[in-house]
């Protein structure tokens, strides 16, 4: 079964880190990605740029609008994701607990919804 592990954290936490701490976190994150590849859990993983670089697209009554930044103001921001293949939710939770940023923020684990194909 596939699960999306969304990595959430407060930007202030990262901003308060020294450059060396940030490098160590990056190294730990890449090493964990390698571990997930080796264990067969990894499908895809990406870090995201700041929400300051995001746009929000909405379509209402066939009219499109685009606004700068995220849809909602929150303390935490989505910093990245890891798409994994896990036996079950417990396995996915175990994998999520190993993500280095789980120590600084939170990891939302969500099952992937397989859209049924209708004929």
pLDDT at 99: 96
Share above pLDDT 70 across residues of the chain, in percent, rounded to a whole number: 96
The pLDDT value given to residue 41: 98
Whole-structure pTM value = 0.86
| Stretch 105-114: mean pLDDT | 94
Confidence at residue 72, expressed as pLDDT on a 0 to 100 scale: 59
- How distant, in Å, are the alpha carbons of 32, 75, 76, 116 from that of 8? 17, 10, 6, 29
Average pLDDT, the chain: 91
2-111 fold: Alpha-Beta Plaits (3.30.70)
Residue with structure tokens 């930007």? 11
Q: What are phi and psi of 67, to 5 degrees?
A: -125, 150
Q: What digits encode the pLDDT tens for the residues 71-102?
A: 556 678 899 999 999 999 999 999 999 999 99
Spacing of C-alpha 62 from chain mean position: 30
Average pLDDT over residues 32-53: 93
Cα separation of 50 and 85, whole Å?
A: 27
């Amino acid at each position: 079964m596939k699960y999306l592990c969304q990595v959430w954290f407060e930007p202030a936490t990262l901003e308060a880190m020294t450059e060396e701490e940030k490098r160590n976190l990056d190294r730990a994150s890449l090493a964990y990605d390698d571990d997930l590849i080796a264990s067969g859990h990894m499908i895809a993983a990406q870090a995201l740029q700041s929400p300051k670089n995001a746009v929000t697209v909405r379509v209402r009554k066939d009219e499109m609008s685009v606004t700068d930044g995220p849809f909602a103001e929150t303390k935490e921001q989505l910093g990245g994701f890891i798409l994994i293949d896990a036996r079950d939710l417990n396995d996915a939770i175990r994998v999520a607990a190993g993500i280095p940023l789980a120590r600084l923020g939170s990891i939302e684990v969500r099952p992937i919804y397989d859209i049924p194909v209708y004929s």
